Amino acid sequence: MQLVFKQRFFSWFDSYDIYDGEGRTVYTVEGRLAWGHRLEIYGPAGDHLGTVKEELLTLLPRFALYAGGVCLGCIRKEFTLFRPRFTLDCNDWQVEGDFLQWEYRVTDGAGRTVMQASKQLFRWTDTYVLEVARAQDALLCLMIVLAIDAAKCSAGNG
């Protein structure tokens, strides 16, 4: 399943539209006024599906992921020198990026690819293409990319 993640050009807070491979809007994301990043995810009918919420007072960026009001787990950036790495404390998934922080790969405990995300260059706003192996993992994969993008913005690497 392919998702195209585009940040809106004019927005006071982080706002994104997420399209499927055929150009239909499948999710919208609205940033909310809060200490740290707080991103609310909605389905095409406007139904609330999830939240990505930055946890403050941590040494490295950390985000709690909620779906349907239930905390699925947290994703946190690890200290690394060359390649960004994030730990996800649910599903036994690992997230690793390339040196330039444009490509990310999520793998499961057996090393199988769950998702690949690529940042598109030369765009007016942040744009990522996500290749998700299983459609049922799309929401969690979207939350991971939102958290990574927010962590990069907080660090000034946006």
**Total of domains in the chain:** 1
The pLDDT value given to residue 142? 94
Cβ atoms of 75 and 87 closer than 8 Å = yes
pTM comes to: 0.87
**In this model, does residue 156 exceed pLDDT 60?**
no
Q: What are the tens digits of pLDDT across the range 51-66?
A: 999 988 777 888 999 9
Cβ atoms of 128 and 5 closer than 8 Å = yes
What CATH number is associated with residue 42?
2.40.160.200
Q: Which helix (H) or strand (E) holds 157?
A: none
The pLDDT value given to residue 57? 75
DSSP for 123-140, please give it: -SS-EEEEEESSGGGHHH
Q: What are the tens digits of pLDDT across the range 111-149?
A: 999 999 998 877 667 788 999 999 999 999 999 999 988
- Angstrom distance (rounded) from CA 49 to CA 17: 14
- Angstrom distance (rounded) from CA 117 to CA 38: 21
Q: Which helix (H) or strand (E) holds 81?
A: none
Q: What are the tens digits of pLDDT across the range 55-112?
A: 887 778 889 999 988 999 999 888 877 777 888 888 889 888 887 778 999 999 899 9
The pLDDT value given to residue 101? 73
- Angstrom distance (rounded) from CA 35 to CA 82: 29
**Domain span holding position 94:** 2-154
First to last CA, the chain: 26
Cβ atoms of 108 and 91 closer than 8 Å = yes
